[in-house]
Amino acid sequence: MQILQQLINGLSLGSIYALLALGYTMVYGIIKLINFAHGDVYMLGAFWGYYMINTFHVGFWTALILSMIFCAIIGVIVEFLAYRPLRDSPRIVVLITAIGVSFLLENGMSYLFSSSPRDFPQAMVMHRYHLGSLSISNVQVLILVTSIVLMILLQLIIKRTRMGKAMRAVSVDPEAAQLIGINVDHTISFTFALGSALAGAAGVMIGLYYNSIDPLMGMTPGIKAFVAAVLGGIGLIPGAALGGFVIGLVETAVQAMGFSAFRDAAVYGILIVILIIRPAGILGKTTREKV
């Protein structure tokens, strides 16, 4: 029963990492960019949800949707101002820019709202359901179910819509996609909007779960989501979801064994091991580049 309890806890946490990892993997799949500012978009989503609930007294679902819209707009603005002018630059230049954007968002929020943690408003009354020694809260169920629904909707958008087909075409060959009439700039902006919206949803849900937010809250989850994307196979949407759940389960298992101080180290250890053993990730295929 204890194993089942940790499984539930791990899946709830892993679903948050999965939503974040999807943003990393979609952007990488389209323009081969590791967007290290993605975790800070998740932080902005949590803060936007906080102010929507606290100031305008909206319900949880309204705050969730508004945070997704807000973060989608932020994602498009960041892509337009920071990444689009550097699209033809060497990858290291864009990578350094992404790190710079991350620090800008973190320090900007710390300056405007102070770096002190603040309590996230309880927009939903928490109830616990018990089955023997097994305990699960309605918030855990909400996080898991909402995350899965968002992942399914994402998959439907990518597989069934015109923009989804355009995203797949651009990820394979941007030049060829442009030749057949696809607007590459709009497609890339849409990809950023979609990934950022998922990060915004994750921010609101984690705020509700842990009841605490701060301007630096996106740093560690952002890196762990990147590890999840690499673990599953960066550039692959099913791989990102799988990697997120695996990281959540590993972190919860390490904590349950009494090594909570080493849970971050365990995640980073997985990154080192996967890069040595299978650099393409669990679902990725190893390809050789021609010189």
pLDDT value for 2:
78
How many Å from the N-terminal Cα to the C-terminal Cα in the chain? 54
Q: In this structure, what are the phi and psi dihedrals at residue 134, rounded to the nearest 5 degrees? A: -80, 130
Domain for residue 288, yes or no?
A: no
Task: Give the residue numbers spanning the domain of 96.
Answer: 14-219
Does residue 272 lie within any of the structural domains? no
Q: For 149-203, how does the pLDDT look when each residue is reduced to its tens digit (9 = 90+)? A: 999 999 999 999 999 999 999 999 999 999 999 999 999 999 999 999 999 999 9
Minimum mean pLDDT range among 137-146, 196-205, 276-285: 276-285
* Position 288 confidence tier, pLDDT thresholds 50, 70, 90: low
**Inside any domain, residue 262:** no
Mean pLDDT value of segment 6-17: 93
Whether 12 and 243 have beta carbons less than 8 Å apart is answered as no
Looking at every residue in the chain, the average pLDDT score rounds to 92
Burial class (CB in 10 A: 0-12, 13-18, 19+), 282: middle
Spatial contact of 274 and 239, defined as CB atoms under 8 Å apart: no
Looking at residue 103, its pLDDT comes to 96
Amino acid at 236: L
**pLDDT higher at 284 or 46:** 46
User: Does 193 map to a domain?
Assistant: yes
CA–CA dist 169, 184 (Å, integer): 10
Q: Is a pLDDT exceeding 70 seen at residue 148?
A: yes
**Residue 132 has what pLDDT?**
78
* Nearest in space to 205 (alpha carbons), one of 270, 137, 155: 137
**Cα–chain center distance at 227:** 11
Going by pLDDT thresholds of 50, 70 and 90, the confidence category of residue 131 is confident
Give backbone dihedrals phi and psi of 16, rounded to 5 degrees, phi first.
-65, -45
Residue 27 has pLDDT above 60, yes or no: yes
* Position 290 pLDDT exceeds 50: no
The pLDDT assigned to 122 comes to 87
Total domains in the fold of the chain: 1
pLDDT of res. 249: 95
Is 4 part of a structural domain of the chain? no
Q: What is the pLDDT of residue 269?
A: 94
How many degrees, rounded to 5, is the angle at CA 106 between CA 105 and CA 107? 95
Residue 74 maps to a domain: yes
For residue 273, the model assigns a pLDDT of 92
Per-residue confidence band for 287, with pLDDT thresholds at 50, 70 and 90: low
Q: Are 176 and 78 in contact (CB under 8 A)?
A: no
Residue 67: C-alpha distances to residues 53, 173, 201, 205 (Å): 11, 32, 7, 11
Classify residue 5: in a domain, yes or no.
no
Residue 266 belongs to some domain of the structure = no
Q: Does residue 1 carry a pLDDT above 70? A: no
Structure tokens at 118: 């603040």
For position 291, what pLDDT does the model report?
38
Condensed to tens digits (0 to 9), the pLDDT of residues 226-273 reads: 999 999 998 889 999 999 999 999 999 999 898 989 999 999 999 899
pLDDT at position 68:
98
